Chains A and B, each alone.
Chain A
Amino acid sequence: DTEVTQTPKHLVMGMTNKKSLKCEQHMGHRAMYWYKQKAKKPPELMFVYSYEKLSINESVPSRFSPECPNSSLLNLHLHALQPEDSALYLCASSQGLVGETQYFGPGTRLLVL
């Protein structure tokens, strides 16, 4: 089983709202990732967690705040987003060390009005 789940599937939010994206995996993976994908572009890495600690932040603005409450769960807290933040947000996980094969969830499609 290589399933990564993400909720919600779709999200519409205003620029003053606070919302959270959720990602879950039950494969025993210890590395988890957030990617952002704009329309007709490839995915771009945002954050990497390894053993529940943030190991990579690709210079992401502070209006995106990741959280890894436990080894199975990864959240992305959103606050004061801009319309240009509208994108598909993808979560992935990998077993053990960062750099192992990553398995992706279906994504959350976010629209910021």
Chain B
Amino acid sequence: DAKTTQPPSMDCAEGRAANLPCNHSTISGNEYVYWYRQIHSQGPQYIIHGLKNNETNEMASLIITEDRKSSTLILPHATLRDTAVYYCIVRVAGYGGSQGNLIFGKGTKLSVKP
């Protein structure tokens, strides 16, 4: 079973920041937080991941709380093309075995509106 909880859906106005929350209260010390998104009928796209520090790349920022029990994915200037299902996944990285598997939950359907 997925170890994360996300709201089923969210709306965001085009050009505004989209803040997608994720709860992972049972996360272990060696588990990373990964974010993927899936635009309709396409393969999941890797966005970003982190362990305990905040991370930023060209797509998004990841803010992880100090206790690591929750995180927020931030898309700084959402566009219509960011409309997708966003998956937050916790997993052990760099480990050969089932603990490293990606277990997708239901995700958050983000709708960016004009």
Contact = CB atoms under 8 A, between A and B. Distances in A.
- Do A and B bind? yes
Query: How many of chain B's residues touch chain A, expressed as a range?
Result: 20 to 34
Interface in B64-114: 87, 91-107
Contacts of A56: 98, 101
Contacts, number: 66
A50 B41 contact: no
A44 B46 CA distance: 16
B94 A97 contact: yes
Interface residues of A, number: 27
Interface in A77-100: 88, 90, 92, 96-100
A66 interface: no
Interface in B19-78: 34, 36, 41-46, 49
Given A101-B49, A104-B45, A105-B43, A42 B104 contact: yes
B43 A98 contact: no
Nearest to B42: A106
A99 B106 contact: no
A107 B94 CA distance: 25
B96 to A, nearest CB: 5
A107 B40 CA distance: 12
Given A48-B101, A90-B43, A90-B44, 12 more contacts: A42-B2, A42-B87, A42-B105, A43-B44, A88-B41, A99-B91, A99-B92, A100-B94, A101-B34, A105-B43, A107-B41, A109-B41
22 contacts: A42-B106, A42-B107, A43-B102, A45-B102, A56-B98, A92-B43, A96-B94, A97-B94, A97-B100, A98-B100, A99-B95, A99-B96, A100-B93, A100-B94, A101-B34, A101-B49, A102-B46, A102-B102, A103-B46, A104-B44, A104-B45, A105-B43
